[in-house]
Chains A and B, each alone.
Chain A
Amino acid sequence: MLGESVLSIILNPVEDDWIYYCSFFTALVIAQVIQLTHYSSEEFDPSNHALSRDVLAGRLWLELMAVFSIALNALGAGLQLLLTR
């Protein structure tokens, strides 16, 4: 979904305006910061992961990932909206 955000930012008609360029780079920085935040807080050790902790934690993690994913998708669309209007 982060890939979709980057696509949404890049695949826009370029406007020759400094406000557009400011918005463009700010949008890229936002996507990068979210990516850094996500991967720095992600648990990569399988034994400590929520999926292997207990059944409720695993299920909650799965459902919250769906919410996170939708939020990321909405963020990408919002950034695109920001750049096109």
Chain B
Amino acid sequence: MLYEVPKVRQFHESPETEHIVDWADLFFDLTYVAAAFQLGKMFISEVSWLAAFKFAVVALCLHDAWRFKTLHDSTFCATDVVHKLLDIIYMCSVASAAVFIQPNSAMENMNTSYAFGLSLSLAVNVAVLGVEKLEIYVRSKVLCARKYVEIEFFDNVLPRLFMYAAASGYSGVLLYRSRDEDKAPDREWTYIVLLLLGSHVMGALLPLLLLWAQAVPGTLFINCTVSPFRFLTTFFSFAIFLQCQPSIYPGITNILQIAMELG
């Protein structure tokens, strides 16, 4: 079939059934193994606490790419052509991110496109996931499925999309500016890592703290908290982060300036 709305695999009250792993899942797992291998090479390229921190943040980004896709595929079933194509784009973005993971000495050099490529791949990755969530929200007639993807979208997709896009913009600006220079400042890669880490602070820790504060017993898929509040928290955190860190992020004006130069 060319297109159909993804179906819910398992309702909470219905008897548990085992999710059969198909060959495509096994094939896609190879991409993550290769990405983990690249991460290992990055880790051993420099033995220091700062390098270990950068490794942990990039590993967290890739782990999230695996985790959210696995959770989504375990919750919704879609075997049509359009969703297979979306899966291919998703895996291409993971493979692309893996390719751009290089030793820290190479990542720090802003004349290369490694940091930009990694950030952009992660942004595309989350964007594809966001499209899948939005599609279910718009097309599905199952109320709990719509509520679930709504929570997922505001909790996991939107904060990460903001931060990965910010990291892409920042590294893209640096790449554009340093193309004619001999050597770019070393600390910029650390700032990009901090931007990537920001996505986890807002996308993972914040909802976790909210849940802890509310301490509402329930289930992962049914229990709903106040999504607009989460959205506002995420949005304002991002805005505050941008405004308070002018030395880290060059700001929208720089991007507009470069766009005008290119124009």
Task: Tell me, yes or no, whether A binds B.
Answer: yes
Q: Enumerate chain B residues within 8 angstroms of A7, measured Cβ to Cβ.
A: 33, 37
- Give the contact-size bracket for chain B: 20 to 34
- Asked if A65 and B40 make an inter-chain contact with CB atoms under 8 angstroms apart, the answer reads no
Docked pose: A73 CA to B207 CA in angstroms: 26
Can you list 21 contacts pairing A with B, beta carbon distance less than 8 Å?
Answer: A3-B33, A7-B33, A11-B37, A46-B16, A55-B211, A55-B217, A55-B219, A56-B215, A59-B220, A65-B63, A66-B63, A70-B63, A73-B36, A73-B43, A74-B52, A74-B55, A76-B40, A77-B39, A77-B43, A78-B44, A80-B44
Residue of B nearest to A46 (CB): B16
- Given known A47-B16, A55-B223, A63-B208, contact A4–B40 (CB-CB < 8 A): yes
Docked pose: A39 CA to B208 CA in angstroms: 26
A18 to chain B, nearest CB (A): 23
Docked pose: A8 CA to B223 CA in angstroms: 41
A73 contacts which of B40, B64, B216 (Cβ < 8 Å)?
A: B40
Among B16, B44, B64, B218, residue most surrounded by chain A Cβ atoms (within 10 Å):
B44
Give the interface of A toward B (CB within 8 A). Answer: 1, 3-4, 7-8, 11, 46-47, 51-52, 54-56, 58-60, 62-63, 65-66, 69-70, 73-74, 76-78, 80-81, 84
Whether B99 is near chain A, meaning CB under 8 Å from some CB there, is no
Among B39, B59, B217, residue most surrounded by chain A Cβ atoms (within 10 Å):
B59
Docked pose: A54 CA to B67 CA in angstroms: 19
Docked pose: A5 CA to B8 CA in angstroms: 35
Whether B49 is near chain A, meaning CB under 8 Å from some CB there, is no
- Given known A46-B16, A65-B67, contact A58–B43 (CB-CB < 8 A): no
- Asked if A54 and B36 make an inter-chain contact with CB atoms under 8 angstroms apart, the answer reads no
Chain B positions 175 through 210: 1 when the CB is less than 8 Å from some CB of chain A, otherwise 0: 000000000000000000000000000001001100
- 9 closest A-B pairs (Cβ-Cβ)? A4-B36, A77-B40, A77-B43, A58-B220, A46-B16, A70-B59, A81-B44, A3-B33, A55-B223
Q: Enumerate chain B residues within 8 angstroms of A51, measured Cβ to Cβ.
A: 220
Q: Enumerate chain B residues within 8 angstroms of A59, measured Cβ to Cβ.
A: 207-208, 211, 220
Q: Enumerate chain B residues within 8 angstroms of A58, measured Cβ to Cβ.
A: 219-220
Give the interface of B toward A (CB within 8 A). Answer: 16, 33, 36-37, 39-41, 43-44, 47, 52, 55-56, 59-60, 63-64, 67, 204, 207-208, 211-212, 215-220, 223
Residue of B nearest to A66 (CB): B63
- Asked if B37 and A70 make an inter-chain contact with CB atoms under 8 angstroms apart, the answer reads no
Q: Enumerate chain A residues within 8 angstroms of B204, measured Cβ to Cβ.
A: 63, 66
B218 contacts which of A47, A55, A66 (Cβ < 8 Å)?
A: A55
Q: Enumerate chain B residues within 8 angstroms of A78, measured Cβ to Cβ.
A: 43-44
Q: Enumerate chain A residues within 8 angstroms of B47, measured Cβ to Cβ.
A: 81
Q: Enumerate chain B residues within 8 angstroms of A80, measured Cβ to Cβ.
A: 40, 44
- Asked if B39 and A55 make an inter-chain contact with CB atoms under 8 angstroms apart, the answer reads no
Q: Enumerate chain A residues within 8 angstroms of B55, measured Cβ to Cβ.
A: 70, 73-74, 77
Docked pose: A73 CA to B41 CA in angstroms: 10
Q: Enumerate chain B residues within 8 angstroms of A84, measured Cβ to Cβ.
A: 44
A4 contacts which of B37, B56, B212, B218 (Cβ < 8 Å)?
A: B37
A67 to chain B, nearest CB (A): 9
Q: Enumerate chain A residues within 8 angstroms of B43, measured Cβ to Cβ.
A: 73-74, 77-78
